[in-house]
Amino acid sequence: MAYYEKRGESWRAQIRRKGYPTLSASFDTKAEAQRWAAEIEGDMSRARFVDIREAESTTLAEALKRYQSEVSAGKKGEKQEKVRIKKWTDSEYANKSLASLRSSDMAAYRDAELKGGKSTATVRLDLAVISHLYTVASKDWGIEGLTNPCRAIRMPKGSKQRERRPTSEELKTIYKLAADMNPELPVIIELAVETAMRRSELVMLRKDQVRGKVAYLEDTKNGERRSVPLSSRALALLEGLPTPIAGGRYFHLKADTISNYFPLVCEKAGITDLRLHDLRHEATSRLFERGFTLMEVASITGHKTLAMLKRYTHLSPHDLAEKLG
């Protein structure tokens, strides 16, 4: 027998049936509560009942703590995900049970964050943590009766793709001023433009990974090995560095230090709206402009899909016009 009670802005449904545990859940409307109760009672009648007591007794904060320990710890983006998890555990939803967290909660969070000025990418990544948590809790932890609260909501549309490409003069100025800040910095920046390698891949590059005209990367963002052909300019830049001991790393700068230095160099040069990651965009676009095929570029840059590759590619309209004749 199901009982319904209005509590504030929500409706609480409770089911009591002989031979089964007492169950309860909260919903935005009475109609949703009635549908839930009808489904549960129907499952009980057909001996298909799913015990959701663990889902009801586990709070979002508790689940996220386990998720961080068991799942995030194995990710390359552990540091960034840890920040997002803390944001959720400090939120008003932290003490809600996994069973009671609703799509309306996620939609409210989405709208509040966007209204507060957060980028669509940030909001999507925040919601992705919750979505993956529910997948793991259901499939790996065996918590029954879960409904992913992110599945039914509208995700914010992706942010506008950046089309900012540095000019040759801007790059020359950046190389010169970067050298004043740290002698390794201009080499790293120019290698990013020459190779399309990521910041983390460059700072971890070792001499024993460079064989002939190819850099064999072992630890990439997506976890897959990648071979990056090196231009004559890239080879010259590496050969101009002090010889690493025992085939060790070329650079001593840390990834975060490079990210902090780059905007300072741009500010000093009077260059606006240019980010470090734009150099990877620039390198990728140059590869296409030099006539490399889609598969060849993907092999060099490590992009897995055409959609991902397209997002980072902006061909020069002037060069395309020249090809038209």
Please tell me the predicted confidence (pLDDT) of residue 222.
66
Please tell me the predicted confidence (pLDDT) of residue 316.
58
Three-state secondary structure call for residue 7: strand
Cα 315 to Cα 286: distance, rounded to the nearest angstrom: 8
Please tell me the predicted confidence (pLDDT) of residue 18.
78
Please tell me the predicted confidence (pLDDT) of residue 141.
92
Kindly state whether residues 37 and 89 are assigned to the same domain: no
Asked whether residue 292 is domain-assigned, the answer is: yes
184-213 CB burial, b ≥16 within 10 A, e <16: bbbbbbbbbbbbbbbbebbbbbbbebbeee
Cα 303 to Cα 293: distance, rounded to the nearest angstrom: 13
Please tell me the predicted confidence (pLDDT) of residue 68.
94
Cα 91 to Cα 77: distance, rounded to the nearest angstrom: 22
Asked whether residue 149 is domain-assigned, the answer is: no
Please tell me the predicted confidence (pLDDT) of residue 258.
94
Please tell me the predicted confidence (pLDDT) of residue 322.
65
Q: Is 171 left (phi over 0), alpha (psi -120 to 50) or beta?
A: alpha
Please tell me the predicted confidence (pLDDT) of residue 40.
76
Which portions of the chain are predicted below pLDDT 50? Answer: none
Please tell me the predicted confidence (pLDDT) of residue 46.
66
Please tell me the predicted confidence (pLDDT) of residue 164.
84
Kindly state whether residues 67 and 206 are assigned to the same domain: no
Kindly state whether residues 185 and 303 are assigned to the same domain: yes
Please tell me the predicted confidence (pLDDT) of residue 23.
79
Cα 120 to Cα 66: distance, rounded to the nearest angstrom: 27
Query: For residue 191, what is the domain's CATH number?
Result: 1.10.443.10
Kindly state whether residues 100 and 234 are assigned to the same domain: no
Which domain does 268 fall in, by range?
A: 168-324
| Helices within the chain (DSSP H only) | 30-45, 53-57, 60-70, 78-89, 103-115, 120-139, 168-181, 185-195, 199-203, 232-239, 255-269, 278-289, 294-301, 306-311, 317-324
Q: Which residues pair with 4 in a beta bridge?
A: 13
Kindly state whether residues 226 and 302 are assigned to the same domain: yes
Three-state secondary structure call for residue 206: strand
Active-site positions read: 198, 221, 277, 280, 303, 312
Kindly state whether residues 272 and 135 are assigned to the same domain: no
